[in-house]
Amino acid sequence: MRCSAIVSFLYLAGLAAAIPANPHPDNPTGLAKSHPAKRHQTRSHPTRSHPKKSHPNVKRKKLQRKTTGEGGQGLRAVGYYGNWDIYDRKFFITDIEDEQLTHLIYSFANVNPETGEVYLSDEHADLNYYYPGDKPSNSSEPQLYGNLKQLYLLKKKNRHLKTLLAILGYTYSPNMVPVLASAELRANFVSSAVKLVTDLGLDGLDIDYEYVTSTTEAVNMVTLLKDLRAALDKIPTNSTTSPFLLTAASPAGPAKYKLLDLPGMDKYLSFWNFMGYDYSGSWDKITAHSSNVFPDPNSNITTPFSSNNALKWYVESGVAPQRINLGMPLYGRGFANTKGIGQPFNNSGATTGSYDEANVWDYKDLTINGVETNVPEIGASYSYDATKKYLISFDNKQNAEFKATYVVKYRLGGAMWWEVSQDKQNDDSLIRAVVKSFGGRPSLENSLNHLDYPHSKYENLRKGFPGIGLATS
């Protein structure tokens, strides 16, 4: 039988022990996205660590299809956007194909490690940048401009698009360590984060802590989510809109997810954004697939991690599949001086790439020279240029469609992408390919967003920007 058929059978049968565990648990994995120290986004691979025992509160059960959670309301299409995208990439909120998305997550807010206060990381981009048509106000009250004004206008244009503020990311996560450990700082975190939601006209929060490192932190994370959920539920809403959202970016590496109290967190989350990428990269010694769905039964080297194995753990731990979005990369990872997949490489001296990191390519910048290969048995794709001895692991259109089929077949909640500025446009878009495979816009979740923010500090947002449409970039 083909690998996908074997794994599919085991998945449905709930035979967890029959699928091999990851053979290299000490390799890095999970999302390595980070807010930049300066203006653009960068990635760093997660800290290498050995797996630890799973959280004691996790009660594992057999894998089965479920109908709890948010199933039946349509599939989610969740895109992250970085506030640095207006700089080097010159990709603006107004460039986003919002009709292809149900949720847009704005990244990243930071946290003060001494006070626990959550604050915006780039006020110029977030609050003050003038889009075409923006002009100073004569009012003495604060006015909202920048990306966040455009996010609100995007919501007015598309009432089915919900916006969330992502907090932390890989670079800012160390600031969270003392905050998690202190009840006082956690309380400040909650109050300041929720105030940003009501001040900025958002629909919720996304917690991107990379990563929980102990059972004590896991317990404190559940407490934090509980308090955030309670505070968000106190924000007044009308009967036609959904509750304010609370989500989390979650890891794909067993050394990370086995520490989490998954059922404890799940009680308070609206859904999970599973980071199904960065399974390999420049930190490795051998080329491997960076976002494969299944493990390769013939080569442990090329698939040290897999989305399917990680998702089995989540579901067996009590998280309904419909509450998990499968994360997909809109970038590729390059390997220089190599003879192919599963072979040694040497990236030293190789400085090519799009913007953020050597040998990391935005999907829209990928120029494929050589042979492009699909590996449908494991849900992976890559290109190899034998002349230049250069390999790139990335999702092409066929593999993105394969992942969409996987989402539908196993009744996951939808798809998530890091990050939207890296995609191609129109018919070449991977986001569009996945949504089309889902069944198009009618297949997507369609709850209404929030537009009423009577307690915002910004006068123009309180009034709902009357008569103002989305800027043209």
Report the catalytic residues.
210
Residue 325: left if φ>0, alpha if ψ -120 to 50, beta else—which one? beta
**What are the tokens at 332?**
């590729």
How far is the CA of 440 from the CAs of 96, 341, 378, 429, in angstroms?
A: 17, 34, 25, 13
CA 209 to chain centre: 12
Q: Which DSSP letter does residue 174 get?
A: G
Q: Which residues pair with 166 in a beta bridge?
A: 206
Maximum distance among all alpha carbons in the chain?
71
Beta carbons of 323 and 246 less than 8 angstroms apart: no
Whether 280 and 287 have beta carbons less than 8 Å apart is answered as yes
Assigned token pair, 356:
């953020």
C-alpha 155/C-alpha 159 separation (Å) is 5
Distances (CA, A) of 356 to 40, 210, 285, 326: 7, 19, 21, 23
**What is the sign, positive or negative, of the torsion defined by CA atoms of 416, 332, 405, 379?**
negative
444, amino acid identity:
L
Amino acid (one-letter) located at 15: L
Query: Up-side HSE of residue 419: CA atoms within 13 Å toward CB?
Result: 29
**Structural contact between residues 162 and 204, judged by C-beta atoms closer than 8 angstroms:** yes
